[in-house]
Structure 1
Amino acid sequence: MPQSYLGKRQPHVPVMVREVLSLLVHDPNGIYVDCTAGCGGHTVAILGKLSHQGRLIGLDRDKDSLLVANEKLKAFGERVFLFNKDFRKLPDVLEELSVKSLSGVLFDLGLSSYQLGLKRGFSFQEEAPLDMRFDSTTGTTAAEILNNSDETRLAEILRVYGDVRNADRVARSIVEHRKEKPLSTTAHLVTAVRRTISSKNPNSSLARIFQAIRIAVNGELDAIREGLAIATTFLARGGRICVIGYHSGEDRIVKQFMRGEATFADGSSSRLELLTHKVIRPSEQEVAANPRSRSARLRAARRLENEQIP
């Protein structure tokens, strides 16, 4: 890996904790779900705002991250339940726990610093196999997508999922390099795209390329659409849903979903009331302390009191 592309890995710091707690936690005795519990950063903060009657359910596809979270959360005992599951499996989890409705749901759609340090190819700053799966036991790897997709499909992935400006050129370079040798490591991918990226800000360009491939590997945008719809159906009247996104594709889906649920074109009753009419960004102080928070975007909504819950 070229030295100019390397950087120091930082411990994971949850983003906009104060803002999330203010918008999400309205009933200290309620049941909340962290749909992307990860290493437990937001989970610990939410539990700290709840009473001894309050409960929290954490889900995550990444088993390794949940092992870290489990250590952090031992002190909370039976007030917290962790599940190594995709958040689209929320109905199964709630049925298992005999939970009918929720006071609040959080989605933090970012990749944690801990995950970036795993040898799964998430980061261009770490030499690793091109895997990029959140759940390393199932699904298609990054290497398989990069080596088997045609140039048109690769360009589409880069453009749609990473906002890569010169997506066609990057895709062409990947195809040319894999003719000589299949791409199997992060170093191979960096080498394949190096000549196509900006010399002024190579790290930003590489981050976008790696982000795009990761999203394709994990089907992240489709999962977000499904997950938001599922979680909303379980919100009690007055229940809150908060979502932190980190790029335009994620935020566009969240914004469209919340606005769509808040204003039904046919005049029928809306399910949600927007709590954030404009996206909330991290403060300058937070960005200075945690530069990786810079791209975070928070949106929130409340389940309407007069909406008939299915």
Structure 2
Amino acid sequence: MTNRAYHLPVLLKESVDGMSIQPEGTYVDVTFGGGGHSAEILSRLGEKGRLFAFDQDQDAQENSIEDPRFTLIPANFRFIKRFLRLEGVNEVDGILGDFGVSSHQFDKGERGFSIRFEAELDMRMDQNTGLGASELVNTYSQEQLAQLIWQYGEIKMSRKLAKAIVERRIIEPIKSTKDLNDLLTPFFPPTKVNKFLAQVYQAIRIEVNQEMEALKEFLLQTSELITKGGRLSLISYHSLEDRLVKRFIRDGKFSGAPEKDFYGNMLVPFKKVGKMITPGAAELQKNKRSRSAKLRIGEKL
């Protein structure tokens, strides 16, 4: 049974339709969350079909589905190839990824993902490892902070914000969401405070969880894992993620021109299937958080 209170699956039918499920195939959902996409995939599999899911978040792991065809792997999807091999799986027929932060992570105030709640700055997907957001803002250099706010938050005044953070932490460490909000709010227009704060939080969260690096590592492994004719069905929520997904499906790489053979034919692992898909009016009305979702589908050549 899926936990819709944990996270309402976005583009559910469209993303699973895009996988072109074969009843006896082997599939992977690399962002299990509340189990919505996994449950839909399982509903289309026969008795011999198999589904593996990944999620590094301990809260998400509590939503595991009891089904003999299903295996939940408590790990980051950047290690997909390694963990599937441990399960005796060397190739799969399709992979689904929904790269958004779950509603549960935003709504559970103590996780520190949201500007709406006063809590310790944490933002780790896996709370057992890595550097939390509080440690990051209190230890990164001014140049490092400016770079990540610019690159991942796409905020032009990144140097001003970084300078303010460094000056403040000399006096007193920045430990909570309130500390960070109170410090940065004066820099933004009153009508756009929440928008800009959310962009700063996004930048810090991406760095804390190494989201861009993990996505690149994952994508490169998919071309080795997916069988000919198998599908990639990927949902992204901000331009940084979508750019990587789009370029990988189109070019097989993240920058530069695609490789070509002696005759000038492009050597790419996938071909694009259809156009980019976004939520329709009915879904947007039901789930406002789906508004920035973009689904892209690729088929292995």
Same-fold call, TM cutoff 0.5: yes
- Counterpart of 1:91 (choices 72, 76, 81) is 81
Q: Distance in 1 between matches of 2:217 and 2:84?
A: 16
Deviations 1:14-39 (A, max 9, x none): 11011101111331221110111122
Structure 1 segment 107-186 matched on structure 2, within 5 A: 107-118=97-108, 119-186=110-177
Q: TM-score, normalised by structure 2?
A: 0.91
Residues 161-217 of structure 1: per-residue CA shift (max 9 Å, x gap) = 111232222222222322221101111111111111231132221211111100001
Higher mean alpha-carbon deviation, 218-227 vs 258-267, is at: 258-267
CA contact (8 A) 1:65 1:115 kept: no
Give the counterpart of 2:15 among 14, 20, 24. Answer: 20
- The answer for the alignment partner of 2:188 in structure 1 is 197
Matched with 1:293 is 290
2:207 is the alignment partner of 1:216? yes
Q: In structure 1, what residue type is equivalent to 2:46?
A: S
Measure how far apart 1:86 and its partner are.
1.1
Shift of residue 150, structure 1, vs aligned partner: 2.1
Alignment correspondent of 1:3: none
Partner Cα distance (2:154, 2:267) in 1? 36
* Residue in 2 that maps onto 1:238: 229
Letter in 2 for 1:274: K
The answer (yes or no) to whether the contact 1:254–1:299 under 8 Å persists in 2 is: yes
Residues 1:255 and 2:253 aligned together: no
Q: Percent identity of the aligned residues?
A: 37
1:221 shift after superposition: 0.2
Contact 1:25/1:46, CA 8 A, preserved across alignment: no
Aligned equivalent of 1:308: none
Q: In 2, Cα distance between the equivalents of 1:269 and 1:217?
A: 34
Deviation of 1:45 (Å): 1.5
Distance in structure 2 (CA, Å) of the matches to 1:219 and 1:269 = 29
Give the SS at the match of 2:90.
coil
Shift of 1:268: 5.5
C-alpha displacement of 1:97: 1.9
Give the match for residue 260 of structure 2: 265
- Choose the corresponding residue for 2:59, options 52, 61, 64: 64
Alpha carbons 1:261, 1:272 under 8 Å: kept: yes
Question: Displacement of 1:91 after TM fit?
Answer: 2.0
Shift of 1:11: 4.9
Superposition RMSD on alpha carbons, in Å?
1.7
Q: Deviations over 1:115-149 (max 9, x none)?
A: 12332211111222111111111111111110112
TM-score (ref. length: structure 1): 0.88
Instruction: Report the Cα distance in structure 2 between the residues aligned to 1:198 and 1:39, rounded to whole angstroms.
Output: 36
| Distance (whole Å) between structure 2 residues aligned to residue 21 and residue 223 of structure 1 | 23
Q: Distance in 2 between matches of 1:113 and 1:12?
A: 5
Contact 1:147 1:178 in 2 (8 A): yes
Give 1:225 shift. 0.5
Q: Gaps spanning 5+ residues in structure 1: where?
A: 1-9, 305-310
| Runs of at least 5 residues in structure 2 that lack an aligned partner in the other structure | none
Residue 23 of structure 2 is aligned to residue 32 of structure 1: no
Separation in structure 1 between the aligned mates of residue 188 and residue 38 of structure 2, nearest angstrom: 37
